[in-house]
Structure 1
Amino acid sequence: MNAEPIYRVVFLNQNEIYEIYVKNVYQSDLYGFLEIEGFLFGERRQMVVDPSEERLKAQFQDVARTYIPMHSVIRVDEVEKQGVGKITEVKGGNVTQFPSFPYGPGSGGGGNKAG
Structure 2
Amino acid sequence: MSNKPIYKVIFYNRHQVYEIFAKAIYQSDMYGFIEVEEFVFGERTQLVVDPGEEKLKGEFANVTRSYIPMQAIIRIDEVEKGGVGKVSDIKPGDKIATFPFQGQTPQTD
Which TM-score tier does this pair reach, normalised by the shorter chain? 0.7 to 0.9
Larger radius of gyration: 1
Matched residue type, 2:14? Q
Give the 3-state SS of the residue equivalent to 1:46 in structure 2: coil
Q: How does the TM-score come out when normalised to structure 1?
A: 0.80
1:20 aligns with 2:20: yes
**What is the CA-CA distance between 1:93 and the residue it aligns to?**
3.8
1:53 aligns with 2:53: yes
* Aligned residue in 2 for 1:96: 106
State how many pairs are aligned: 98
Deviation string 1:76-109 (CA, Å, 9 cap, x unpaired) is 00001111000000123497338xxxxxxxxxxx
Q: How does the TM-score come out when normalised to structure 2?
A: 0.84
Q: Give unmatched runs, 5+ long, in structure 2.
A: 95-104
* Aligned residue in 1 for 2:36: 36
Identity of aligned residues (%): 56
Inter-partner Cα distance in structure 2 for 1:21 and 1:96? 24
Measured on the aligned residues, the alpha-carbon RMSD in Å equals 1.7
Misfit runs of 4+, over 2 Å? 91-98
Give the 3-state SS of the residue equivalent to 1:2 in structure 2: coil
* Aligned residue in 1 for 2:99: none
